[in-house]
Structure 1
Amino acid sequence: MSPTETKMKKLIAGNWKMNGSLAANEALVKAMLEGLQGAEPAADMALCAPAPYLAQLQSLLQGSPIAWGAQDVSAHEQGAYTGEVSVAMLKEFGCRYAIVGHSERRQYHGETDEVVAAKAQRALAAGVTPIVCVGETLAQREAGETEAVVKRQLAAAIHTVGHCITEIVVAYEPVWAIGTGKTATPEMAQAVHAVLRAQLAAATTHPKRVHILYGGSMNAANAASLLAQPDIDGGLIGGASLKAADFLQIVASAR
């Protein structure tokens, strides 16, 4: 880090997945905001909600310390793509972030590395920060393919967005640790984050400007040990982001 660069705050981003209701969302967000009153959050914060609730988040979070974002974005600008949501639409609802390439999108919707990279590029072009997810399955880890898999996935984004690579966020999410209650040890997670950081260093002179989040069942109990690792710059939080106290505890662990 050069003398002119300040240390980045960590980023704690919640991914609600396909959960929520108008009433539950309002109660959850209000509890989070109440928990933050009178204190500067230890980390940058964001909540990524299903598309129908983005207007609600815009209303609830405008002017607060919590940013908001979407769980996906179309690789297309506009047109006959039924069911797709464009980045221009997300911008109208104040979204700062868009998750792209989550393992569930890759697994259930057949998204390829190239599609994920195209979505990242589309988001960046409109000023929305893509959270580019990478990660290996249990079978790939057991076969010793973890490094090759995550490097291939990140390489597609690097190739597509080029010099804008420092404007993305990367999330490492070992597929075997998502929603299972299993988590990589801090040392296991750090090892993969270090690989990703080295790959970014080969692509830009400012690899430390890129947040690399850990996204494998981070919770209130394990957050501090994971966030203490040198290349873990935050978390992409699933289930724990649906509980205000847990999410705020994770944020507090980022000090």
Structure 2
Amino acid sequence: MYFDLPTTLSYVRGVLQLDGDAWNSRIDLFIIPDFVSLAECGRILEPSSIMLGAQDTFSEDKGAYTGEVSPLVLRQAGATIVEIGHAERRAMFGETDETVANKAGAAARNGLVPLVCIGEKTHHSVASAAVGAAIQECTPQVASVLAAVPDDTDIILAYEPVWAIGAKEPADADHVVNVTTELRKLAAGRKGTTRIVYGGSAGPGTFAKIADSVDGLFLGRFAHDIHNLKAVIQEVGRASSV
């Protein structure tokens, strides 16, 4: 809710200008605007390779659920990805692992790729303790989602340590590598593709340090400036082509 409608549409048109210029064919880019602007953003992005995502969904396709947003309608509006279980949703609206898993299942049955936000709340000063605590807290978040979607469903796990969201610096690279390496093991053997992206104050220089364990970045306010977004995309493109 940082952008109003005109600002959102202007931003999306600006990102569209980067298509085919700022990144190569090995880079996938998605934008996740608010619900009201979703359909118009889809029309703007239609001629491009940029994917459209939604910020949330409901666990049912149809029914007496006033104010909720159907995953069926999101798909019809042009979304291909849906973000689920962001730390703000969990903290402000009481979403649980069960809630998130049900939404992931609904997204999958409607042909949407669930982008599931996971992350630990507490940060320990001792590195080994921090990694262990993160794995312990994130494992049920991942396991519940994997149990709720078909084995051949493509999913994206957005690892965002809650304590790193809005911080001055992203989580330490060793921490991210150690945690995501272990979490990836939970999805070993799945038929569907499981990608892991890192979020939490991500910016220039972040990806190169963690590229061995993650597939990309999940940018927040930093990417509101298209010049920042372009710089990070180019960094990821260079690292991905090595």
TM-score (norm 2): 0.88
SS in 1 for 2:40: helix
Q: Which string of whole-angstrom CA distances, capped at 9 and with x for unpartnered residues, describes residues 57-86 of structure 1?
A: 112111212111101000112112121001
Q: Which string of whole-angstrom CA distances, capped at 9 and with x for unpartnered residues, describes residues 117-153 of structure 1?
A: 1101100101000101110012577695211111111
Confirm or deny: 8 A CA contact 1:97 1:128 kept in the other structure.
yes
Q: Which residue of structure 2 aligns with residue 125 of structure 1?
A: 109
SS in 2 for 1:200: coil
1:35 and 2:11 are equivalent in the alignment: no
Distance 1:39 1:229 in 2: 19
Relative to structure 1, the CA distance from residue 231 to residue 76 in structure 2 (aligned partners, 3 Å threshold; closer, same or farther) is: same
Q: Which string of whole-angstrom CA distances, capped at 9 and with x for unpartnered residues, describes residues 166-198 of structure 1?
A: 511111000001122231122111111101111
Match of 1:184 among 158, 167, 171: 171
- Aligned Cα RMSD in Å? 2.0
Unaligned stretches of 5+ residues in structure 2: 238-242
Unaligned stretches of 5+ residues in structure 1: 1-17
Distance 2:217 2:199 in 1: 6
Match of 1:44 among 20, 28, 52: 28
Q: Which residue of structure 1 aligns with residue 240 of structure 2?
A: none
1:239 and 2:197 are equivalent in the alignment: no
Q: Which residue of structure 2 aligns with residue 200 of structure 1?
A: 187
Distance 2:144 2:167 in 1: 28
Distance 2:191 2:184 in 1: 10
Confirm or deny: 8 A CA contact 1:186 1:225 kept in the other structure.
no
Confirm or deny: 8 A CA contact 1:181 1:217 kept in the other structure.
yes
Distance 2:74 2:190 in 1: 31
TM-score (norm 1): 0.84
Residue correspondences, number: 232
Relative to structure 1, the CA distance from residue 205 to residue 139 in structure 2 (aligned partners, 3 Å threshold; closer, same or farther) is: closer
Distance 2:120 2:23 in 1: 35
SS in 2 for 1:211: strand
Distance 1:38 1:212 in 2: 25
Q: Which residue of structure 2 aligns with residue 61 of structure 1?
A: 45
Distance 2:102 2:202 in 1: 28
Relative to structure 1, the CA distance from residue 232 to residue 139 in structure 2 (aligned partners, 3 Å threshold; closer, same or farther) is: closer
Confirm or deny: 8 A CA contact 2:23 2:233 kept in the other structure.
no
Q: Give the letter aligned to residue 112 of structure 2.
A: V
1:96 and 2:80 are equivalent in the alignment: yes
Confirm or deny: 8 A CA contact 2:84 2:103 kept in the other structure.
yes
Select the structure with the greater relative contact order (CA < 8 A; seq sep ≥ 6).
1
Q: Which residue of structure 1 aligns with residue 147 of structure 2?
A: 159
Q: Which residue of structure 2 aligns with residue 86 of structure 1?
A: 70
